[in-house]
């Protein structure tokens, strides 16, 4: 079972009201030297080449208008906050709890 975090503009990530568009996501990825699309996964799946403890830290856009990942480590969570700020969005878990600041999520995976 996973723990997902979402970058969303919606009140609740699963109810699409103000979606992040595919174009917005692809433009952000294109302009961020730490992000790289991985087309063999999908045309919206991006790997983050930042200071993550994972071999492959990833983010993926959904046609429902959010960006998500599973069990982000602390560094990837902080990157998500940065991306959310650029998109006028927020970071939220699957229950709708918002994570607005660096100290709200800390996770060190067993890698």
Residue 14 sits in a domain whose CATH number is 3.30.310
On whether residue 111 sits in a domain, the answer given is no
| Mean predicted lDDT score pLDDT of the chain | 92
On whether residue 17 sits in a domain, the answer given is yes
Among candidate residues 3, 4, 18, the one with its CA nearest the CA of residue 89: 18
Structural domain span for residue 52: 4-93
Contact residues for 82 (Cβ-Cβ < 8 A; gap 6+) = none
Residue-level pLDDT at 3: 86
Is the pLDDT reported for residue 110 higher than 90? no
Sheet with 4-8, edge to edge strand ranges: 35-37, 45-48, 57-61, 67-70, 4-8, 90-93
On whether residue 105 sits in a domain, the answer given is no
pLDDT digits (tens, 9 = 90+) for 71-107: 999 999 999 999 999 999 999 999 999 999 876 666 5
On whether residue 99 sits in a domain, the answer given is no
* Overall number of domains in the chain: 1
On whether residue 86 sits in a domain, the answer given is yes
On whether residue 108 sits in a domain, the answer given is no
Element of type H or E holding 31 = helix 22-31
Residue-level pLDDT at 26: 98
**Percent of the chain scoring above 90 in pLDDT:** 80
On whether residue 52 sits in a domain, the answer given is yes
């Amino acid at each position: 079972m996973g723990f997902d975090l979402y970058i969303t503009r919606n009140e609740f990530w699963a109810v699409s009201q103000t979606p992040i568009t595919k174009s917005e996501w692809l433009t952000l990825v294109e302009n961020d030297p730490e992000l790289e699309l991985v087309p063999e996964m999908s045309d919206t799946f991006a790997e983050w080449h930042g200071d993550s403890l994972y071999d492959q830290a990833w983010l993926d856009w959904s046609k429902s208008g959010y960006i998500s990942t599973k069990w982000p480590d602390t560094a990837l969570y902080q990157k998500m906050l940065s991306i959310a700020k650029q998109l006028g969005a927020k970071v939220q878990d699957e229950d709708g709890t918002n994570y607005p600041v660096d100290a709200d999520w800390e996770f060190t995976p067993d890698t």
